[in-house]
Structure 1
Amino acid sequence: MAAPYNQAMTSSVPILQLPSNQPSESVTPVFPPSYLAQARTFNMNIKDAVQSSEVVAYTLSVNNINAKVLFDYGATRSFISESFVGKLNYEIELLVEPLFINLANQEQVSVKSIYPRCKVEISGYSFPASLIPFRLGEFVAILGMDWLEKHGAQIDCKKKKVVLKSPQGKKVEFKGQK
């Protein structure tokens, strides 16, 4: 069984915060209000994404496998398709508390696990990603605000252009599918 996820999903939104003055074995987890915040995502297809002025779609390498990825600033968290997770070659980790996902159809779904050590390759750079397994439509991954903020993303949805800062501090720019 995997250990609870105890690292930050982003630099500003921790999932689990442990007091630094005590060893982690004897600590009761402290959950910031942002942890229990609800996340949302869309179940969009490629055609909708290409026509939308609110998202950018692109085929990228996720854990060294080509995958259809959606960059969505309307999604508060980042997701990976449940049908793709068998290809990740990483152990899933349990969230300390469930995360509630609000879908566009007003349905609410609870998720309890995460893949915290995924990598997304863009222009020769490896970007770490903490991805929540979820039933997605045609996309393998949705990179939401947690990931976009962490990498300083600027998205021009009309031009289908994304500008990021690599973990090495380099500016990375690419155009999504039109």
Structure 2
Amino acid sequence: MFSVRVNNANNRGNGVKGQAFVLGSGEARYDHNVVTGKFLLNKYFASVLFDTGADRSFISKNLSDMIKGTPTLLEAKYIIEIADGQIIEANHILKGCKLELASHILDIDLMLVTLGSFDVITGMD
């Protein structure tokens, strides 16, 4: 139940640290700055949040298991602090996922994290 807004900053060599703000699917529906919907990702329908404030894109661990991609270990873990102070980490990325938008196929890389309301959060990476 969060929209990820990441600010890049080195975290003393332990990875990259970011920040996220809480935004559930119900709240996103009424925010004119947010686009959500069901789209095809690797031929599976996914609930997607498009977040222009995020500089990375994420996929829920549940959906990543379904699409059967092979995750790649990140060189440095990606640390995300959400608005309530909770820290989550991304250690793996699915490269070359195919997101279909209005008959256009976009190649995107997705970091694996635990997501609540959405299957995928796409940023501006």
Q: Same-fold call, TM > 0.5?
A: yes
Q: Per-residue deviation at 1:41?
A: 3.7
C-alpha separation in 1, matches of 2:18 and 2:57: 9
> Among the aligned pairs, what percent are the same residue?
29
Q: Which residue of 1 aligns with 2:113?
A: 134
* SS of match in other structure, 1:83: helix
Q: Which runs of 5+ in 2 are unaligned?
A: 1-9
Q: Which runs of 5+ in 1 are unaligned?
A: 1-32, 147-178
User: Relative contact order, CA 8 A, sep 6+: which one is greater?
Assistant: 2
Of residues 30, 36, 46, the one that matches 1:57 is 36
- TM-score when scaled to structure 2? 0.80
Amino acid at match of 1:75: A
Q: Which residue of 1 aligns with 2:7?
A: none
- TM-score when scaled to structure 1? 0.58
Q: Per-residue deviation at 1:112?
A: 0.9
Deviations 1:86-139 (A, max 9, x none): 112211100011111121212222221100121100111110110011111121
Deviations 1:133-163 (A, max 9, x none): 11111211000121xxxxxxxxxxxxxxxxx
Q: Which residue of 1 aligns with 2:27?
A: 48
Q: Which residue of 1 aligns with 2:83?
A: 104
Of residues 114, 129, 138, the one that matches 2:93 is 114
The number of residues matched between the two structures is: 113
Q: Is the contact made by 1:77 and 1:144 (CA closer than 8 Å) also made in structure 2?
A: yes
Structure 1 stretches of at least 4 aligned residues deviating more than 4 Å after TM superposition = none
| Structure that is richer in strand per residue | 2
